[in-house]
Amino acid sequence: MLQQLTVRNFTLIEELDLNFGRGLNIITGETGAGKSIIVDALLLLFGERGSAEYVRKGAPKAVIEGTFSIVKNKLLAEFLEQNDIERNGDELMLRREISEKGTSRSFVNDTPAPLNIMRDLGALLVDFHGQHEHQSLLRAESHVNFIDNFEGVAPALAAYQAEFQALKTSIQERSDLASRERTLAEQSEFRRFQLEEIDQLKPERGEEEALEQELSLRENAEQLHDLTYRLAALLYDEEDSVRDRLASAKNILEELANIDREFTEYGAECRSAIAIVGEIAKFAQAYRENIEFQPERLEEIRYRLQQLSRLRKKYGSWDELFAKWDDLKRDAELSENFDAALERISAEIEATRDRLAKSAEKLSKKRRTIADRVEKTIISTLQTLGMPHIRFAVNFARELAIPGTSESELYATLDAERIVAYPNGTEKVEFLIAANPGEELKPMARIASGGEISRVMLALKAALAESDRLPMMVFDEIDTGISGRIAQKVGKTMRELAKHPQIIAITHQPQIAAFANTHIMVEKRQTSTSTRISAVVLSDDERVYEVARLLSGEEITNAALQSARELVEGH
């Protein structure tokens, strides 16, 4: 639950510190006072996109900070552990900062965190309901999401979606394979020529460089022979060679060392020099003996290099040539085995379809079980909310796959029929309702009354709360279009609902406000130069006064105060 919300320099709020309590937290205030700004602050705290427009004029940055109690919240504890976020006892502190330039920073327990972490935390902590979600009840395609929000559906949905994606991928692979077959058939002669051309030459990686080096050696064979002969003679073979002169120097050094030991070290160096000269001479002699004069090998190398150079230039580079060669060999093998490849992937598609059908049945069974429970809960809740004759049903409908359509391959065989497979299941889910006696069940989209929509949404939230998924709910003006008598029933329902999740609700209805466990009033103060929004938690007497204001408007009469006191004290 949210314990404290601190807001600094956020739109019209200069400074705000609010303490929230367990149960039902009601926010009231005059129209335009800025009540929804508090909801906006919470949305930003949980990762909504921010901008410089949110920063109060003249301030360097806006800061929103929330402190949450996370006692016995197993899912949240696991999330913090999985994301290496250090715990702060039984409290969780979230902070969002938006600079005057529009840049944003987020923190979890004073540790920097990316926005996706803030959004994921929001998904575990709070369920927001505003006018946008209000309208989602009028879109049949969104109804399945309400059912899927219930605990226990997610694993079955994930299993189905994995098989659906596998089927979609395999179908695309088969389509690509068939398209490849047609392309290869059209280009078969040219590609066969390319493959034969490369196969005939059979180039090897690094071959051109090795041949160029060999060519250089063979083209300079005579010079290499002459130079190595002269080197060996100079060092070792001629009279008065380097080796002979070093031997004479060694003898002199040895005589000097007998007189002065300082020459001993240099005598050893001279012996090493004699050994080195001998090694160089031996290498030159051996190298000369291995030089081969093969004019035919020279021509062979030159011809091979010409062929390799022509082929390399044709394909751009050696890397591109070898990649093309591999591609041509794969295509040649594929051309010979297209039937086998198509048969393999077709068998894989059928096996995936079988698995998809099984996962679809499990998902449908889970949804229908939850739908039965939801129907009972919603009908019961709506009856207490002033709709005694209400009938509500969750309708499941399948669609036959029609050959030749774009989705004709995306199907699962259920009850011996080919049923269209959607990304989220093999059935469309739609809420049907009949508000008055004798009416037929009709799609939710045909409901004209905003008050009925509000009550259905509240009933859905009440049913969802039973699944024990979220510790906190935020309602932004759920009382749209309902009368005072119904508002009292809505308030009672919200008070009951708030026994498990903490609820924060903005309302204009005194009958709902009277049920608050914690009542917060928002005020806007304006001067000729500035506008400021403030919010305070009301005392018991102040609550009565605020409810009276909601009842009677600006002029608060004794009768309004008495009625307000009766409303507040009656709960």
Please spell the DSSP secondary structure of 46-78, one letter per residue.
TT----GGGBPTT-SEEEEEEEEE-TT-HHHHH
How far does CA 228 lie from the centroid of its chain?
69
Distance between CA atoms of residues 38 and 308, nearest Å? 74
Does 269 or 467 have the greater pLDDT score? Answer: 269
Query: In angstroms, what CA-CA distances link 214 with 207, 267, 295, 313?
Result: 11, 42, 13, 21
> What size, in residues, is the chain?
571
Q: Which amino acid is at 534?
A: S
DSSP H or E stretch at residue 355: helix 338-384
HEC profile of 272-287: HHHHHHHHHHHHHHHH
Query: In angstroms, what CA-CA distances link 282 with 46, 229, 529?
Result: 81, 11, 101
Least confident interval from 5-9, 91-95, 354-358, 403-407:
403-407
Query: Closest by alpha carbon to 95, among 25, 2, 7, 19?
Result: 7
Confidence band, pLDDT 50/70/90 cuts, at residue 6 = very high
Residue 449 region, left (φ>0) first, then alpha (ψ -120 to 50), else beta? beta
* pLDDT at residue 304, as a whole number: 86
Which residues touch 303 (CB under 8 Å, ≥6 apart)? Answer: none
CB 103 within 8 A of CB 450: no
Does 570 or 394 have the greater pLDDT score? Answer: 394
* pLDDT at residue 108, as a whole number: 92
* pLDDT at residue 450, as a whole number: 62
Average pLDDT over residues 289-301: 75
Distance between CA atoms of residues 54 and 428, nearest Å? 40
* pLDDT at residue 407, as a whole number: 62
For 1-135+469-538, CATH gives: 3.40.50.300
Does 458 or 445 have the greater pLDDT score? Answer: 458
Q: Which amino acid is at 210?
A: A
CB 305 within 8 A of CB 208: yes
* pLDDT at residue 185, as a whole number: 63
Alpha helices in 385-483 (DSSP H): 450-465
Query: What's the farthest any 2 CA atoms get from each other in the chain?
Result: 137
The top-scoring range by mean pLDDT among 43-47, 122-126, 160-164 is: 160-164
| pTM of structure | 0.61
Q: Which amino acid is at 21?
A: G
* pLDDT at residue 203, as a whole number: 86
HEC profile of 288-351: HHHCCCCHHHHHHHHHHHHHHHHHHHHHCCHHHHHHHHHHHHHHHHHHHCHHHHHHHHHHHHHH
Query: Closest by alpha carbon to 173, among 345, 336, 330?
Result: 345
Distance between CA atoms of residues 393 and 370, nearest Å? 12
Least confident interval from 178-192, 263-277, 304-318:
178-192
Distance between CA atoms of residues 527 and 561, nearest Å? 30
- Mean predicted lDDT score pLDDT of the chain: 84
Please report, rounded to a whole number, the percentage of residues in the chain having pLDDT higher than 70: 91
Q: What is the pLDDT of residues 17-26, one digit of tens each?
A: 889 999 999 9
Does 413 or 299 have the greater pLDDT score? Answer: 413
Distance between CA atoms of residues 176 and 70, nearest Å? 51
Least confident interval from 19-23, 33-37, 301-305, 445-449:
445-449
Question: At residue 5, what are phi and psi to the nearest 5 degrees?
Answer: -125, 125
359 burial class (0-12, 13-18, 19+ CB within 10 angstroms)? Answer: buried
* pLDDT at residue 429, as a whole number: 93
Structure token pair of residue 280: 């160089």
68 burial class (0-12, 13-18, 19+ CB within 10 angstroms)? Answer: buried
Residues of the chain with CATH 3.40.50.300: 1-135+469-538
Cβ count near 303 (within 10 Å): 10
Query: Closest by alpha carbon to 477, among 513, 450, 508?
Result: 508
The top-scoring range by mean pLDDT among 71-85, 362-376, 484-498, 553-567 is: 362-376
DSSP state string for 368-393: HHHHHHHHHHHHHHHHHTT-TT-EEE
